Each structure stands twice: as C-alpha cells, then as structure tokens.
Amino acid sequence: MSFLQAIIDVINGVHYNDIERVTKALDVVCQSIDSMKQALKRMHEYVDPSIFYGVIRIFLSGWKDNPSMAEGLVYEGVDDQPMEFSGGSAAQSSILHCLDELLGIQHEGNNGAFLKRMRDYMPPSHKQFIQEISICPSLRDFVLQQADERLTHAFDKCVAGLVEFRNCHINIVTRFITIPASRAKQLRANKQNLMEELDTISRAPTALEERGTGGSGIMTFLKTVRNETKDSSISVFTNGNQEPPMEEIEKSASELTIE
C-alpha cells in the first residue's frame, strides 16, 4: 500500500469505525515517515554545506520577508507595483502538511500562518487534498475514543516518527545554514587570510544569515513546529529530542572547510 493510499485508508477506516483498518494503515504511514527520514539523512552525502549556503541558497531566496529586497520585485510589463513572493522551501512540500492535518498537529500564530501561506505555492490539487484531510472527522479523537492499545500505539508511533523527522531536519539546517552563517561571521570578524572559503560562503547576503529560503526566522520556527508535533502525542512524550548541544555546533563551525 502506498503512503497516499494509506492516508485514504486511515480516513475511510475512521469513517467506518474500523479499528483494524486504521491501525494497519497507520503502520504504513509510520514506515513511510521513517523512509523519508532515511532519505533526508543522505543530504550530507551529496551536498557540501558551504556550497549550499554560499551558492545554491541564494537562488532559492525569494522577495518576501527578505531584508535585502524589502520592497519586493517589480515585474516589468506585468504591474508597476512591486510584488512579494517567498523563495523555494520544502515547507511548500505537500506531504508534511498532509501528515500534520491527518495527525491533528496544530501550528499556531505566526508559524501556523507561515505554513498556511506556503500552501499557496503548491499545485492547487495538492492544496485541495490537504484541505479535504483537514475537514475529515478527527483521527486523534477517534483514537482517544476507541482507547485501543494497538491503535493508540500506531498513532503515537507516527507522531514520534514525525518528531524524529523534524529533529533530523533541524540537524540538517544547523549544518547547512546555522554553522556556515556563524563561520561567515567568524571569518569576517577575524579578517583571517582564508580568502577562498570566505569568498564562497560570503556570497550569501548577510541579511539572510538568520533566514530560511522561505524567509522564516529559522530555528525558533523549526523548533516550535517540532514541539507542536510532540503535543499531538496521546501517551506522554519522552524521547526524540536530539538537538545538538551548542558546543558541538561551534566545534563543527570551526572545522568547516571547503575541499
């Protein structure tokens, strides 16, 4: 059964009060989240953090919430007024939004508004699918009402898997953005004679040091989204918080070089 079919099966299972069907489909969802995490971990194999930070990311940045283009961009021949559009971000990927809606994970305030806005950058049918999931009867309420051990376990494993995915993503963002940004600051401050490295990572505008490609203030955003994921868990959540300690981040920053 594919991941998307499993989502539909969960929804149908809730509709027909079929505990077995929902439990089995949630097991598939959980395996898919794990595969996504395994794929995410391979980012390091193919992408050099300095190149990502100093070269690729600049092409991903947009002209909304971007301090270096605060007014947006005039599309000549389209409109005299500047327009604002966010840069490319996997926050615009439909899968995580589907999971949040399915598992009843709620993102509040500015973070929730940012994630909702990202849906405007998805293909309309994807956005519509997410909307459909959001108006279905609540899976979480169903799990709570049934009080079935296997069902609750399957649900909580999905939530825990998503927390682990988001932790793994935070580690990636630390390595691909936070560390190069702090390295760029360090190099500028020390005026070291490391011109080649400085040349690559300093191509990134300083205004973007604290920003994600979609324009968010990165770490606060990502950690809040991760914590809100934990909140959906039915049993008490005790694991999955694997943030790297600050000393580790600083150590990695000083070791980061271009080969």
Binding site for ligand HEM (CB under 6 A): 40, 43, 47, 52, 89-91, 93, 96, 166, 169, 172-173, 176-177, 212-216, 218, 221-222, 225
Q: How far is CA 69 from the centre of its chain?
A: 24
The CA distance from 222 to 225, in Å, is 5
Please, which residue, 21 or 117, has the CB nearer to ligand HEM?
117
Minimum Å gap between C-beta 186 and ligand HEM is 19
Asked if 182 and 172 touch (Cβ cutoff 8 Å), the reply is no
Please, which residue, 21 or 88, has the CB nearer to ligand HEM?
88
Give the nearest residue (CB) to ligand HEM: 212
Minimum Å gap between C-beta 52 and ligand HEM is 5
Helix (H) or strand (E) holding 220: helix 218-230
Minimum Å gap between C-beta 217 and ligand HEM is 8
The CA distance from 257 to 195, in Å, is 12
Minimum Å gap between C-beta 31 and ligand HEM is 16
* AA letter at 37: K
Please, which residue, 47 or 58, has the CB nearer to ligand HEM?
47
Minimum Å gap between C-beta 90 and ligand HEM is 3
Please, which residue, 98 or 154, has the CB nearer to ligand HEM?
98
Helix axes 149-173, 19-41, angle to 10 degrees: 20
Provide the Cα torsion 77, 83, 84, 86; round to 10°. -20
